[in-house]
Amino acid sequence: MERFIAKRLYGSDGSAKGGSRPAIVIATIGIALGLAVMIVTMAVTRGFRNQIRDIVIGFTQHITVTNYQMNFGTTEEPITCDEVLFMEMNDAKEIDHVQRFIHKPGILKTDSLFHGFMLKGIGQEYDLSFFNAHLTDGYIPLPSDSLKDTWIVLSQEIANKMMVKAGDKIDIYFMQNSIRARRATITGIFKTNFSEYDQVFGITDINVLQRLNGWDSNQATGLEIRLTNEKYLDKAYESVREIMNHSDARNDEAYLIETMEELNAGLFAWLDVLNVNVVAILVLMLGISGFTMISGLLIIIFERTATIGTLKALGADNATIRRIFLHFATHIIGKGMLIGNAIGVAIVLLQQHLQIIPLDPASYYVDSVPMELKIGWFILLNIVMFTLSMLMLLAPSAIISRISPSKSLRFE
């Protein structure tokens, strides 16, 4: 009965009847816009966090192991990356992939320009999928023990500063006991828009840097470790520490183990600030939507005072009449949420496929607003929105109990 009366009040054609129509339209718009803003906000936040995390993982992986002494001096101290260590790492179920790297500072120089940077040497086991996905020109050669020519892959940012392109030759100077130089061919250009790394790193064969440092084939600056799942980070950290303790006893080396969040503390602190802003926006939008719904329901109740009086005179109790108006409100909330979902999802899909909202990569690390829609939080957001909206309507619907049948029938 309550649903039938509520539907008659709302209108069989889905439109509001009587003088309450403007209030219903405003309440519907409030719900729709509030939900659309919340969907877009959640999508942007998730998109930013995941895209930036993917770039950080591409450069450093989840866990990095280096020589402890290297962080307290200018000398380049290696760690021993022998077959035993690789076997122990690969046997850990939380670890998906392990790769060596060497970091060596150097200076790029042309006839008129120079630029300080960090050269990263990669081995044959290095997973190049990340850099290949961001390659804009040329290619990345496969590392090889038999080197004929020295090659280097630069970021687009460095290439622009040095005014070079793929195929050009460039000189690299290394400051050791004496200045040592190498002439390299630029085989590729990559671009991630992540300036902290793009303006610093270049890539070359690990064998070049091993020979410059006088290291053997088992020595490297460190190891980068990718996990099977990021949720295993704490457990994987303990596994890596246990493995490296065994290696410490075997090779008499001290190790420093760092997660990607420890290596990029400032960046992840910025992402945490974004989460605070998201909570503030969600609470604000929910408050605005709830206010418009409460205002709309109050207007509807006052406009239907005579109807309430008639129902009471016919024997309907307060609880029944409250349920009628809550069913009425459900129609408004449902319609508003359908419109809000349509608007929010449409904006997210348009941005994903057309990148209609650009950004300055120098400030935001990406060239367009990243948006990611996940069905789990999307459904949860709708459930929370509907539930809280209904709970907020319980208080104004209690006014019905104060309406007297004898007075309400003479209300108009």
Q: How far apart are CA 54 and CA 198, in angstroms?
A: 15
The residue among 60, 119, 137, 123 whose CA lies nearest residue 86 is: 123
Spatial contact of 247 and 255, defined as CB atoms under 8 Å apart: yes
Q: Is the pLDDT of residue 327 over 70?
A: yes
Tokens read off for 136 = 């804009």
Q: How far apart are CA 340 and CA 370, in angstroms?
A: 20
Burial of residue 325 (number of CB atoms within 10 Å: 0-12, 13-18, 19+): buried
Helix (H) or strand (E) segment spanning residue 285: helix 265-303
Of the chain, the percentage scoring pLDDT greater than 90 comes to 39
- pLDDT for 70-98, tens place per residue? 655 456 789 999 888 999 998 999 999 99
Query: For the whole model, what pTM was predicted?
Result: 0.77
Q: Is the pLDDT of residue 223 over 50?
A: yes
Can you say whether residue 196 is alpha, beta or left, with left for phi > 0 and alpha for psi between -120 and 50 degrees? alpha
The confidence score (pLDDT) of residue 19 equals 45
Find tokens 């500072």 and name the residue.
105
- pLDDT for 160-200, tens place per residue? 999 999 999 999 999 877 888 999 999 999 999 888 889 89
Q: What is the mean pLDDT of residues 202-223?
A: 92
The confidence score (pLDDT) of residue 12 equals 44
How far is residue 253 CA from its own chain's centroid? 37
Spatial contact of 182 and 109, defined as CB atoms under 8 Å apart: no
The confidence score (pLDDT) of residue 75 equals 60
The residue among 2, 33, 36 whose CA lies nearest residue 345 is: 36
Q: What is the mean pLDDT of residues 19-46?
A: 83
Spatial contact of 386 and 333, defined as CB atoms under 8 Å apart: yes
- pLDDT for 336-358, tens place per residue? 899 999 999 999 999 999 888 88
Q: How far apart are CA 201 and CA 104, in angstroms?
A: 10
Strand partners, 107: 116, 173
The confidence score (pLDDT) of residue 351 equals 92
What are the C-alpha distances in Å from 160 to residues 62, 83, 114, 190? 30, 40, 12, 12
The residue among 188, 74, 177 whose CA lies nearest residue 122 is: 188
Average pLDDT, the chain: 84
Q: Is the pLDDT of residue 259 over 80?
A: yes
Q: What is the mean pLDDT of residues 120-132?
A: 93
Spatial contact of 113 and 162, defined as CB atoms under 8 Å apart: yes
- pLDDT for 369-412, tens place per residue? 889 988 998 999 899 888 888 887 777 766 666 666 655 555 45
- Under DSSP, the state recorded for 121 is E
What are the C-alpha distances in Å from 323 to residues 68, 140, 202, 329, 368? 68, 68, 67, 10, 47
Q: What is the CA radius of gyration of the chain?
A: 32
The confidence score (pLDDT) of residue 149 equals 81
The confidence score (pLDDT) of residue 393 equals 74
Find tokens 């080197």 and name the residue.
147
